């Protein structure tokens, strides 16, 4: 896999690690509901889906 894709995946890893932890996580630490979904729950699953999507896109590009 070309270097830039490996680096991007590594960056994705780091980004994921940051997004999934304190302090970014603390920003969403409220019991509010947004469109009926608790924001913490929504935030986590949205970021999760985003990471998966980006990874899939990057990997398909690298082939």
Partner 1 sequence: MLDDKIIILSALAYIGILFAVAYYADLCARQNRSIINRPVVYTLSIAVYCTAWTFYGSVGRAASTGIGFLPIYLGPTLVALVFWLLFRRILQIVKTQRITTIADFISSRYGKSQALGGLVTIIAMIGIMPYISIQLEAIAISFAILRQYPDIEAVDIATTGTLWLDTSFYIALLLIIFAILFGTRHIDTTERHEGLVAAIAFESLIKLLAFLAIGIYVSYVLFNGFGDIFAQAAADPELIKLLDFSAIPGGFGGWLSLTLISMAAFLFLPRQFQMLAVENTDERHLRTASWLFPLYLLVINLFVLPIALGGLLLLQDYPVNADTFVLALPILGQQQELALLVFIGGLSAATSMVIAETVALSTMICNDLVMPILLRSRRFRLNHQTDLSGVLLAIRRISIALMVILGYLFFRYVGHIFPLVTIGLLSFAAAAQFAPAILLGMYWQGASRIGAMLGISGGFLVWFYTLLLPFSGWLGAEFIEHGPAGLTLLKPYALFGLTGLDPITHAVFWSMLVNIGLLVLGSLIAEPSIFERVQAQRFIGNTPEDELLVWEGSVQLSDLRTLVARYIGQERTDKAFSNYARRHQITLTDTQQADPALIHHAEQLLAGAIGAASAQVLVSSIAKGRRLEMDEVMTILDESSQIMRYSQQLEQQARELSAAYEEIRKTNARLRELDQLKDEFVSTVSHELRTPLTSIRAFSEILLANADLEVKQRNEFLQIIVSESERLTRLVNQVLDMAKLESGRIEWDMQKLDLRQPLQDAINATWQLLEDRHIQLEQKIDEEPIDFYGDHDRLTQVFINLLSNAAKFCPEQEGEIAITVQCQDSIRITIRDNGPGIPEQHLQTIFERFHQVSNQQAGKPVGTGLGLAICKSIIEHHQGRIYAVNNADQGACFVVELPTHDSVLAQTESNV
Q: Where are the beta strands (DSSP E) in 1-63?
A: 33-34, 37-38
| SS3 category, 1 | coil
How far is residue 34 from each of residues 30, 46, 61, measured CA to CA in Å? 11, 13, 34
What is the contact surface with partner 1 in residues (CB under 8 A)? 1, 6, 9-10, 12-13, 16-17, 20-22, 25-26, 29-31, 33, 35-38, 40-41, 44-45, 48-49, 51-53, 55-56, 59, 62-63
As measured in angstroms, the least distance from the Cβ of 42 to partner 1 is 10
As measured in angstroms, the least distance from the Cβ of 12 to partner 1 is 5
């Amino acid at each position: 896999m070309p270097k830039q894709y490996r680096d991007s995946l590594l960056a994705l890893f780091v980004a994921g690690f940051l997004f999934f932890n304190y302090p970014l996580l603390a920003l969403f630490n409220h019991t509010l509901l947004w469109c009926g979904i608790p924001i913490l729950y929504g935030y986590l699953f949205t970021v999760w889906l985003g990471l998966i999507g980006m990874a899939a896109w990057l990997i398909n590009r690298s082939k």
